[in-house]
């Protein structure tokens, strides 16, 4: 049935490890990954819990297609309550950790409580056990991974861990796996740190999941592979240039946020684009996650000899144009540092961008810089210095910036300069130029995020069809459909990039053949809707309201000053009411009883 049928519960307080049966009735309703983990989390955790207390839990969850031969089936999810947003957090990552976890015989790991001293979880052929982490506590992500691989003596073992940022409870700390792959968003790394949980290492032989209908599954996989090979995005654009193929597209479209969203076009984009990464010779080879024929990852070597992965589009933007930095070497090095420290690149860059605007406008006093460089837009020196400071929690500003852009800006009396939704930093698309994406931002259950409803695809990339980025009427319908479908993709264990080539019908065929389900496409989309509403209910119980479904004031009130969208603001006031109605929510954004009953959530 493509599940292992087992989940591991780790009580860090007592050191007790228990293997439990995967609740298959819930798996049918929530698939796995993001959906099933969220359901388990909501059933077990009080939404008002302090996210950094032992009462919070953290779940690592694969999906039914993780580890199978379905293209891009290497994903897993980290679900917890976010210390950054106070909302549900579910961060997704690729690499090889997720498939290895299934090889070891577990679909899901639930961590609860808090260890009395730093530990890591080792899952090997002898079974799972907790091990003293003194040898790796304080080490960065790369060194931690190297030490643990040596310790286990299996170079094919896979490691997910936190870096110094997570240990110091930075609210923008990520969980890293396979060194440079990140469950990046919402501060999930801080939750691991709060539990004194440094890492998980999994050593296991290949143990391919058994699907329900092997022949049917093989046939659908073949269809998927053909579609991915035929599609120009998945067969050419992403493999050749990676996600940074977007820099010039988004900049030309006048929605490439620059200098903390004060501008929407970056004059030096040619210096930092995906094309530049290739033409300057920094890109050495492409890199693929488990089972991925696309291979959007980048192995980069800089002229100074430094090597690492990335930058991807989002990271290159947040550490580049968002901060006005046009030095591709400095941007790449900043990306490597974030990976080593275990910092979310989007949040780190946008936090520095906020600090730069605060400083340039005189709200952040010079004495708070201590010995650090001036926070001027364009300063690559400041970029590197403050990433290290926030990742290691050093100095006045390092400590403040480690809490993310909102808390930093709020501490200086100007929270409006934090480009955040629900206190999470926004990604690389100015919503004044793309109205649907702005609605998706505002309504994200996990705060500022672009992937849970990637409206850039139809609004800018003309994929699967072109829709006018400034048109309003159709956008609530598009946003809901994309949000629900993404919830499905996140829950089955595939990569969102597969959706450039695949549609809901193919996903449904894959899931049915793998799990033995007989869902229709409508049934599948209802599962996505159920997951979205479950997350929403958690957030409401956690204290979030309709007032949190908004965008920074700048994006609602300050018209763009240049480019094809000159004069535009985001029209959230016109988009939100029809979106709520379409969702079956009342005017305050609360799901109606009728809606909940229809989804089995009543």
Q: Of the two residues 464 and 577, which places its CB atom closer to another protein in the complex? A: 464
Query: Token pair for residue 97?
Result: 């950790």
Binding status of residue 254 toward another protein by CB under 8 A:
yes
- Beta-strand ranges (E) seen in 361-458 are 420-421, 424-425
For another protein (CB under 8 A), the number of binding residues is 44
Binding status of residue 184 toward another protein by CB under 8 A:
no
Of 235-243, 371-379, 473-481, 538-546: span binding another protein (CB under 8 A) = 235-243
Binding status of residue 463 toward another protein by CB under 8 A:
yes
Q: How far is the CB of 473 from another protein (least distance, A)?
A: 15
Q: Of the two residues 29 and 243, which places its CB atom closer to another protein in the complex? A: 243
* Bridging pattern class, strands 6-11 and 16-21: antiparallel
In this structure, what are the phi and psi dihedrals at residue 237, rounded to the nearest 5 degrees?
A: -60, -55
Q: What does the alpha-carbon distance between residue 358 and residue 410 come to, in Å, rounded to a whole number?
A: 10
CB 253 within 8 A of CB 246: no
Question: Can you tell me which of 179, 227, 244, 570 binds another protein, judged by CB under 8 A?
Answer: 244
Binding status of residue 237 toward another protein by CB under 8 A:
yes
Question: Can you tell me which of 84, 461, 537, 569 binds another protein, judged by CB under 8 A?
Answer: 461
Largest CA distance in the chain: 68
Q: How far is the CB of 482 from another protein (least distance, A)?
A: 12
Q: Of the two residues 500 and 580, which places its CB atom closer to another protein in the complex? A: 500
Between 310 and 329, how does the x/- string for binding to another protein read (CB under 8 A)?
--xxx---------------
Q: Is 48 buried (19+), middle (13-18) or exposed (0-12) by CB count in 10 A? A: exposed
Q: Of the two residues 465 and 518, which places its CB atom closer to another protein in the complex? A: 465
CB 424 within 8 A of CB 185: yes
* Three-state DSSP state, 34: helix
Q: Of the two residues 467 and 546, which places its CB atom closer to another protein in the complex? A: 467
Binding status of residue 82 toward another protein by CB under 8 A:
no
Question: Can you tell me which of 80, 90, 196, 234 binds another protein, judged by CB under 8 A?
Answer: 234
Using CA atoms, how far residue 125 sits from 44, 152, 154, 175, 598, in Å, is 29, 11, 11, 24, 44
Query: Token pair for residue 244?
Result: 């940074």
Q: How far is the CB of 285 from another protein (least distance, A)?
A: 16
Binding status of residue 107 toward another protein by CB under 8 A:
no
Q: How far is the CB of 507 from another protein (least distance, A)?
A: 17
Query: Token pair for residue 271?
Result: 């210096």
Q: Of the two residues 398 and 563, which places its CB atom closer to another protein in the complex? A: 563
Binding status of residue 89 toward another protein by CB under 8 A:
no
DSSP 316-381: HHHTTGGGT---HHHHHHHHHHHHHHTB-HHHHHHHHHHHHHHHHTT-S-GGGGTTSPP--TT-HH
Q: What does the alpha-carbon distance between residue 120 and residue 599 come to, in Å, rounded to a whole number?
A: 38
Cis preceding-peptide flag for 311 (omega within 30 of 0): yes
Binding status of residue 490 toward another protein by CB under 8 A:
no
Q: How far is the CB of 377 from another protein (least distance, A)?
A: 23
Q: Of the two residues 77 and 389, which places its CB atom closer to another protein in the complex? A: 77
Q: How far is the CB of 472 from another protein (least distance, A)?
A: 14
| Among 367, 354, 359, 353, residue whose Cα is nearest residue 396 | 367
List b or e across 386-410, with b for residues whose CB sees 16 or more CB atoms inside 10 angstroms: bbbbbbbbbbebbbbbbbbbbbbbb
CB 9 within 8 A of CB 112: yes
- State the DSSP H helix or E strand holding residue 151, giving kind and residue range, or none if neither: helix 141-152
Between 428 and 457, how does the x/- string for binding to another protein read (CB under 8 A)?
----------------------xx--x-xx
> Directed axis angle between helix 33-44 and helix 475-492, to 10°?
90
DSSP 490-528: HHHT--GGGGGT--HHHHHHHHHHHH-----HHHHHHHH
* Three-state DSSP state, 298: strand
Of 24-32, 73-81, 123-131, 309-317: span binding another protein (CB under 8 A) = 309-317
Between 382 and 421, how does the x/- string for binding to another protein read (CB under 8 A)?
----------------------------------------
Of 11-19, 376-384, 495-503, 591-599: span binding another protein (CB under 8 A) = 495-503
Of 15-23, 116-124, 238-246, 412-420: span binding another protein (CB under 8 A) = 238-246
**Rg, the chain, Cα only:** 22
Between 541 and 570, how does the x/- string for binding to another protein read (CB under 8 A)?
----------------------xxx-----
Question: Can you tell me which of 24, 466, 582, 597 binds another protein, judged by CB under 8 A?
Answer: 466
Length of the chain: 602
Q: How far is the CB of 440 from another protein (least distance, A)?
A: 12
CB 353 within 8 A of CB 364: no
Q: Of the two residues 124 and 235, which places its CB atom closer to another protein in the complex? A: 235
Q: How far is the CB of 427 from another protein (least distance, A)?
A: 8
Binding status of residue 252 toward another protein by CB under 8 A:
yes
Q: How far is the CB of 79 from another protein (least distance, A)?
A: 21
Of 105-113, 236-244, 331-339, 518-526: span binding another protein (CB under 8 A) = 236-244
Interface residue list for another protein (CB under 8 A): 231-234, 236-238, 240-246, 248-249, 252-254, 274-275, 296, 312-314, 427, 450-451, 454, 456-457, 460-464, 466, 468, 496-497, 500, 563-565
């Amino acid at each position: 049935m493509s599940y292992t049928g087992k989940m591991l519960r780790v009580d860090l307080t007592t050191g007790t490890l228990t293997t439990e049966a995967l609740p298959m009735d819930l798996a049918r309703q929530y698939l796995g990954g993001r959906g099933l983990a969220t359901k388990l989390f909501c059933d077990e955790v009080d939404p008002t819990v302090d996210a950094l207390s032992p009462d919070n839990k953290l779940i690592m969850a694969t999906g039914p297609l993780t580890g199978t031969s379905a293209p891009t089936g290497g994903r897993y999810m980290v679900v917890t309550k976010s210390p950054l947003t106070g909302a549900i957090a579910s961060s997704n990552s690729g690499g090889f950790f997720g498939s290895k976890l299934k090889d070891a015989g577990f679909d899901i790991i639930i961590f609860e409580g808090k260890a009395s001293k730093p530990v890591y979880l080792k899952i090997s052929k002898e079974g799972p056990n907790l091990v003293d982490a003194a040898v790796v506590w304080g080490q960065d992500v790369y060194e931690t991974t190297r030490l643990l691989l040596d310790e286990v003596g299996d170079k094919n073992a896979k490691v997910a861990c936190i870096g110094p940022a997570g240990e110091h409870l930075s609210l923008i700390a990520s969980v890293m796996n396979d060194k440079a792959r990140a469950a990046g968003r919402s501060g999930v790394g801080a939750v691991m740190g709060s539990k004194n949980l440094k890492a998980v290492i999994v050593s296991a032989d290949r143990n391919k999941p058994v699907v329900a209908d092997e022949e049917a599954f093989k046939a659908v996989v073949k269809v998927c592979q053909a579609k991915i090979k035929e599609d120009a995005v998945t067969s050419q654009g992403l493999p050749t240039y990676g996600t940074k193929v977007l820099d010039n597209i988004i900049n030309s479209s006048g929605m490439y946020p620059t200098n903390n969203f004060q501008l929407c076009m970056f004059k030096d984009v040619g210096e930092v684009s995906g094309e530049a990464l290739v033409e300057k010779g920094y890109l050495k080879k492409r890199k693929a996650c488990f089972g991925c024929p696309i291979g959007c990852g980048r192995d980069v070597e800089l002229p100074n000899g430094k090597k690492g992965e990335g930058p991807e589009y989002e990271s290159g933007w947040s550490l580049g144009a968002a901060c006005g930095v046009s030095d591709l070497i400095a941007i790449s090095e900043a990306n490597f540092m974030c990976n080593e420290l275990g910092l979310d690149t989007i949040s780190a860059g946008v936090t520095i961008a906020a600090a730069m605007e605060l400083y340039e406008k005189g709200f952040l006093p010079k004495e708070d810089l201590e010995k650090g460089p001036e926070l001027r837009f364009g300063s690559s020196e400041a970029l590197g210095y403050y990433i290290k400071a926030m990742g290691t929690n050093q100095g006045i500003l390092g400590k403040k910036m480690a809490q993310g852009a909102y808390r930093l800006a709020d501490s200086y009396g100007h929270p409006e300069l934090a480009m955040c939704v629900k206190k999470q930093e926004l990604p690389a698309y100015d919503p004044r130029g793309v109205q649907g994406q702005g609605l998706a931002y505002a309504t994200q259950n996990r705060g500022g995020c672009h992937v849970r409803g990637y409206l850039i695809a139809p609004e800018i990339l003309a994929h699967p069809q072109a829709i006018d980025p400034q048109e309003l009427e159709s956008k609530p319908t598009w946003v809901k459909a994309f949000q629900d479908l993404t919830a499905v993709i996140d829950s089955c264990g595939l990569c969102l990039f597969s959706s450039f080539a695949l549609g809901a019908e193919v996903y449904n065929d894959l899931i049915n053949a793998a799990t033995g389900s007989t869902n229709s496409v409508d049934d599948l989309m209802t599962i996505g809707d159920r997951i979205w509403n479950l997350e929403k209910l958690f957030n409401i119980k956690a204290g979030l309201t309709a007032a949190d479904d908004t965008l920074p004031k700048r994006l609602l009130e300050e018209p763009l000053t240049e480019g094809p969208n000159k004069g535009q603001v985001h029209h959230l006031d016109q988009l939100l009411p029809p979106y709520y109605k379409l969702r079956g929510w009342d005017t305050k954004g609360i799901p109606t009883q009728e809606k909940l009953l229809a989804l089995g959530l009543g």
